[in-house]
Each structure stands twice: as C-alpha cells, then as structure tokens.
Amino acid sequence: MDRIPTLGGLQPFGAGEEAGWLFGGVCDRVEPGAAVRMAVHLSGSGAEPVEILGRIAAARPYVYLDIVHDQPWRGRIKLRFGAADGGTRVRLIAELDQPGLEWLMRRRGFPTARNASPHPRLGLLTSKSGPCSPFATSIDNAAMLALEEINAEGGIHGRRVELIVGDDATDPETGIMEARRLVQAGCRTILIATTSATYTAVAESLGDAPVLLVQPVMNEGGSGGRLRLQLGGRPGDQLATATKPLTQMEGVRRSFLAGNDYCWPRTTHGLARQLLPRYGARIVGEEFASMRTRDFAQLVESIQKSGADIVPRPI
C-alpha cells in the first residue's frame, strides 16, 4: 500500500490498522481513479456522519493527494504535504460549489432560498446522502445530461431550464421538506428518484398542489394520477423475465429471499412467493434487514445454512 506522509511520520491511507486518518477514508489502492469513501461528522447534523463518496484524482507520494467527490455535494479535497520540524506539515483545502454550500447550510439547520428566475425550473429529488446515496451520482449525471440536451435545442418556449436538486437523505420526512422547498423555488415538475417510501410520502403531502411528480426509477406502481406519473419498471416484470432462465439452469431450484425492510422488497417477495413455485423453484428462507444495516454477517450466515442455490434480488 502506498504511504502518505502525515504528522508524526508515515502512515498508510485507506488500508491497514492505521487507515482512515482522513475522515475515516477507505479505499482499495492509492492511485488516480480509485474509489474513496469518507465519513464526516457535521456539527448540528445529528449523530449520523455524512458519507462522502469520491475518487482519487491525483496522487504523488510525499507531495500531494487530490480527491474529487460527487456526493453529497460536488467538490474536491486537496492535501498538500511539506517538511516541518519533527515531522510533516499537512495542508487541507476543501472546495465546494454553490449547491454544495446550500446543502451544508440546510443540514446545519440554516434556511436557504433561491432568488426568483425568469427561467422555468425543474426539480430533482434524490438521495444524495443516507443508505441510497451510491445511486445518486448516476441520477444527477443523467438529469444534467438530459437538461443540457433540452437547453441545446432551445429549452422550453425559448427559455433555458434550470435544475434544482433536493436531498431526501433516504428519509421520507426529509423528502417532504425538500419537495416543499423545490416547490417554493418555482419547480412545477419534480422528478423523484428516491425510495418509493419517499415518493409516496411526498405525493400525499403535496396533495392537490399543481405540481407534476414523476417517479422515473423502478417502483411498485399504484400511486398514479393526473399529476402523478410512475414510469419505472415493476418488480413483477423483472422477476418474470429472470425466473424462467434461472430455474432452467442445472441445480438452481432453492431460493432465499433477502432484502431491506421497506416496501420494494416486501412487494417483490410477495410476488416471488407466487411466481417461483410455478417454475419449480422452492423458497428455503426469507429475511429482511433494516435500511441502515451495515453488518450483514447474520444474513449471509442464514443464506449459507439454508442451502439456497440463488438469491433473487430485483433492483
């Protein structure tokens, strides 16, 4: 493992017993392109640390280390190393953009508001923090790409569209507050790329508000309406497509159902109990883990003891 100079001598970054000196940083290797996970405790944000997901952009042993990250805000962390009496001087520079500053202010409990704009605004509610944050980067990038294409073609009635992003923190109550903030910012259409629990809570909270809510990611359906569109795939379709070829494989007959304890897995498991026996499969176990579970050792042990051949997990 590459070693990075720190105060007090040489320590490894991201691996080994002394790893994590930078915000608990964890990575497989210290080289450009390697993924990095860090956890930052923000004063006033509660007991749960904020997880930063990024990658190493540049590294030179004993000289510098740069990390760029997309979640929960877009920014760059720069480390600069220099000789000092009795050790090494470490200088840390953190950069963030305007949306990142607003995110931090809201997380600390300070109100933020966008000025009025002559341009139409599109809201995106996603999970930039919490257990579902690993999915948010691709959602952000897809939304920005789509908006660039729309604006390149003239926008809406000749006006550029602005994207305003909200973070539900993988929590329905937070999602409601963020959705209301997006509405107050002038968003009349909100893409809700979160858990179905957040989508349902937001749809109920906004009630008859003249705001189009679109759920573009996979969902269970059932909450449609004139201003409520659920466009993503359904768990039944996924299971039906995958089950037949899987059960035709040699020796694949025993299934273990495992998932998080919320609406998507419970709906999926209910459909699986109906569908799998039709193809000769037998369910040998079922367990749910809480949304914030990090230690899955017990679940893995249950799967191993069950003698399952496969764990079907539509996502």
Provide mean pLDDT across the span 236-265.
Answer: 80
For residues 259 and 239, give the distance between their C-alpha atoms in angstroms, rounded to a whole number. 14
Same domain for 93 and 130?
no
Residue 56 falls within a domain, yes or no? Answer: yes
* 86-116 residue pLDDT tens: 878 889 999 988 888 888 888 877 878 778 8
281 and 265 assigned to the same domain: yes
- Last residue of some domain: 60, 77, 100? 100
Q: For the chain, what is the mean pLDDT? A: 84
Q: How many domains does the chain have?
A: 3
Residues 17 and 78 grouped into a single domain: yes
| Domain assignment of residue 108, yes or no | no
Shared domain check, 83 and 121: no
226 with 257, same domain: the answer is: no
Over 80: is that where the pLDDT of 312 sits? no
Note whether 253 and 149 are same-domain residues: no
pTM: 0.78
162 lies in which domain range?
113-230
- Proportion of the chain above pLDDT 70, given as a percent: 90
Picking from 50, 70, 100, the residue at the C-terminal end of a domain is: 100
Q: Are 150 and 144 in contact (CB under 8 A)?
A: no
- Whether residues 125 and 178 fall in one domain: yes
Tens of pLDDT, residues 136-160: 888 989 999 999 999 999 999 999 9
pLDDT value of residue 135 = 86
Distance CA 301, CA 285 (A): 12
CATH number for the domain that contains residue 166 = 3.40.50.2300
SS3 303: helix
92 with 138, same domain: the answer is no
Whether 19 is covered by a domain: the verdict is: yes
**Domain ends where: 230, 253, 275?**
230
